[in-house]
Structure 1
Amino acid sequence: MIRLAVAGTAHPHVEYVLSELAHQPNVQLVGISEPDPAAAQRYTGGLDVPTYTSHEELLDTHDVDAVAVCGEYGARADVVVAALQRGAHVLADKPLCTTLDDLDRIDKAARTADRLVSIMFEKRGHPVTIAARQLVEDGVLGDLALVASTGPHKLNRESRPAWFFDRTRYGGILGDLPVHDIDLVLALSGARAGSVAGRVGNRSLPEYPGFSDNGAVLLGADGVTATIEAHWMWPAASAYHGQYRMRLTGTSGTAELDWALGTLAVVTRDRDVHHPELGAPVRPAEDFLTALVAGRHPEVGTADSLVATRIALLAQLSADTGGVPQNWSR
């Protein structure tokens, strides 16, 4: 039996963890912490587990095997480090943390404790992603050369907490939204080193001068060049929270992923546009918890989680310093 604690319910992605429990009979939720009573009630109502106002009290009270971290962004690093120091593995919502110094603390704590840190990169589990990665692995697209992705999001301003618009508590848009696509570029390319540059803007929220509602990343990943744009300006009337898309261009073909519509369109040198058969999805918290129960390593481990986060934070640093490119390596 895996004893799981949830530290923080500030973001709806905590539902990825809570909903997964119905599929994991060998995982026991032992407690939840959240300093904001309203946020706590939103997700803990009806759950027969103790709740706490601080992660310290939660971790001092329960001996746990894993901690799911889904709290306020700027506070996540302290929670992650505390969980690791108590010998627990960590499953984290993105962003893992909001500063490079915090990332270094997490890296050190994970190494010292010899415990896993895994981010819920939910795009990995979508059927279109799984099929596209297989195309690249099988060489159907030839050598991958370019990746272009877009990550539009609805702001839903009325439901956003005050901390979301505070740069010191939220971090920055490039440390947050593009990290999913950065992770996929690394997974698709297998890149070990490169450079990253970022640019941000604020076109719709002048009353929050420290907040960016749009941004773009130029990522060099060995021989692959990726452009990643993300914003909080997706129209409220849309049926989707955001129509996230990615185009993969290789020497022998192109693949277009549309996560909102759940489609994958492929065209190659010898075959016109076609739609490969898609398989079943993998739920965002499924692989991590299943791996812990089985005693195996999850697909997204500490190295993948840290390098994608580092690149995203370096992109934000680049944007904050006039777009100066930053080098990265595994």
Structure 2
Amino acid sequence: MRFAAIGLDHRHIYHMVGGLLEAGAHCVGFEPQTSDPRVLAGFRERFPALKEVAGARLLDDPAIDLIVCAGIPSERAGLAVKAMAAGKDVMVDKPGVTSFAQLAQVEAAVAETGRIFSVCFSERFVVPSTIVAGKLIADGAIGRVVQTVGLGPHRLNRAIRPDWFFDKTQAGGILADIASHQIDQFLHFTGSQDAEIVASGIGHFGEADLPDYEDFGEVLLRSDRASGFIRVDWFTADGLPAWGDGRLTILGTKGTIELRKYVDIAGRPGTDHLFLVDGAGTRHIDASGEKLTYFRNLIADIADRTETAAAQQHMFTVCRLALHAQDRAVRLPPRRTESQ
């Protein structure tokens, strides 16, 4: 499978390209245009053998099967539509879209071209412990899943963020962006085809000179099978030896699974800690050695026109629910009026 990278504006492009290369795909080249020279420099350092090629040439190359994009969020859907019209499948970083209009355009392009539009939800697809959790659930280890609680804290790293990062019209907002990870995991682990956003909120509690920047968000959602709660934020302290203490708790009728994906604070070293509580007791599982499946499954889907990496409708549903959560969110706390 041959692919190319267009849109080097976010560091997630590193694991997107790296995961495909590790799974056996061949990268034809990358478009060096970027809004963040530091991302481009990091890409060149990690992949020194890859060629720089103009984006138009990559789109026109009939031998390229897949376009990979981690561009400015508001520009990803437009590139995806162009790539699909050129006969290519697409993998984009989350958020895949930042508006309902963009989602409609992408859905129409998929229907018209038959191409694949995949969003790389890295907090599941690039985390080995989520694969182990899925196997345990499939084996009935915790019974029927009835709730998930997903926590997605992030470190702001303000000094290295490009201007678009703080512009909601370009970045999409905290729920449309990082909460899409937790919505993806809720649907996946509960076996839900769809859900409703019961309540959602956004807030700014941090730096005073960014009053409109959303640094906190929460979502309550439900399906016909389960319920879920999501909290996302940009308040990871500098003392944590990881960019965020991402956690997922999965409640079943016969036990629970908790994933501490990136760090076990004041505990065991490394990543991908899975804690299982069932009828037999409690257990820690080191899931860091589990092999990832998303990239090799996507390569197979491109060849076989299947949906083993993720169902196409699942991608659209996650995008839609994230947009609904963002669109319907109340302000937390409510803005004070002059009379208050």
| Structure 2 CA distance for aligned equivalents of residues 231 and 286 of structure 1 | 31
Query: Quick check: 1:78 aligned with 2:78?
Result: yes
Task: Indicate if the aligned counterparts of 1:3 and 1:30 stay in contact, CA closer than 8 A.
Answer: no
Kindly report which structure 2 residues correspond to 1:27-66, keeping only aligned pairs within 5 A, or say none.
27-36=26-35, 38=37, 39-44=39-44, 46-52=48-54, 55-56=55-56, 58-60=58-60, 63-66=63-66
Query: Quick check: 1:274 aligned with 2:275?
Result: no
C-alpha distance 266-20 of structure 1, shift in aligned 2 (>3 A):
closer
| Structure 2 CA distance for aligned equivalents of residues 321 and 277 of structure 1 | 39
Kindly report which structure 2 residues correspond to 1:161-176, keeping only aligned pairs within 5 A, or say none.
161-176=162-177
Kindly report which structure 2 residues correspond to 1:64-213, keeping only aligned pairs within 5 A, or say none.
64-125=64-125, 126-196=127-197, 197-213=199-215
Task: Indicate if the aligned counterparts of 2:301 and 2:308 stay in contact, CA closer than 8 A.
Answer: yes
C-alpha distance 247-42 of structure 1, shift in aligned 2 (>3 A):
closer
C-alpha distance 20-165 of structure 1, shift in aligned 2 (>3 A):
same
Deviation at 1:144, TM superposition (A): 1.4
Higher mean displacement: 212-221 or 286-295: 286-295
| Structure 2 CA distance for aligned equivalents of residues 322 and 100 of structure 1 | 24
Aligned residues: 319
| Structure 2 unaligned regions, length at least 5 | 264-271, 334-340
Aligned position for 2:252: 250
Identity %: 27
C-alpha distance 224-75 of structure 1, shift in aligned 2 (>3 A):
same
SS at match of 1:14: helix
Aligned position for 1:240: 242
Task: Indicate if the aligned counterparts of 1:26 and 1:293 stay in contact, CA closer than 8 A.
Answer: no
SS at match of 1:182: helix
Aligned position for 2:337: none
Higher mean displacement: 102-111 or 136-145: 136-145
Deviation at 1:253, TM superposition (A): 1.0
Task: Indicate if the aligned counterparts of 1:118 and 1:305 stay in contact, CA closer than 8 A.
Answer: yes
SS at match of 1:203: coil
| Structure 2 CA distance for aligned equivalents of residues 171 and 26 of structure 1 | 31
Aligned position for 1:328: none
Task: Indicate if the aligned counterparts of 2:298 and 2:308 stay in contact, CA closer than 8 A.
Answer: yes
Task: Indicate if the aligned counterparts of 1:117 and 1:301 stay in contact, CA closer than 8 A.
Answer: no
Deviation at 1:72, TM superposition (A): 0.7
Q: Normalization by structure 1: what TM-score?
A: 0.88
Paired residue type of 1:314: H
Deviation at 1:98, TM superposition (A): 0.8
Aligned position for 1:229: 231
| Structure 2 CA distance for aligned equivalents of residues 172 and 26 of structure 1 | 33
Aligned position for 2:6: 7
Task: Indicate if the aligned counterparts of 1:205 and 1:213 stay in contact, CA closer than 8 A.
Answer: no
| Structure 2 CA distance for aligned equivalents of residues 205 and 322 of structure 1 | 15
C-alpha distance 283-243 of structure 1, shift in aligned 2 (>3 A):
farther
Deviations, residues 185-233 of structure 1 (Å, cap 9, x unaligned): 1111221333113101001133223310010011112221100100001
Deviation at 1:245, TM superposition (A): 0.6
C-alpha distance 206-283 of structure 1, shift in aligned 2 (>3 A):
farther
Deviations, residues 158-193 of structure 1 (Å, cap 9, x unaligned): 000011001111110001111112111111122133
Aligned position for 2:310: 300
C-alpha distance 132-80 of structure 1, shift in aligned 2 (>3 A):
same
Higher mean displacement: 311-320 or 298-307: 298-307
Task: Indicate if the aligned counterparts of 2:131 and 2:290 stay in contact, CA closer than 8 A.
Answer: no
Task: Indicate if the aligned counterparts of 1:16 and 1:285 stay in contact, CA closer than 8 A.
Answer: no
Paired residue type of 1:89: D
SS at match of 2:5: strand
Aligned position for 1:326: none
Q: Normalization by structure 2: what TM-score?
A: 0.86
The higher-RCO structure (CA 8 Å, 6+ apart) is 1
C-alpha distance 281-243 of structure 1, shift in aligned 2 (>3 A):
farther
Root-mean-square deviation over aligned CA pairs: 2.4
Deviation at 1:62, TM superposition (A): 6.3
Deviations, residues 9-28 of structure 1 (Å, cap 9, x unaligned): 10011111332354355523
Deviations, residues 71-93 of structure 1 (Å, cap 9, x unaligned): 01111111111111111000111
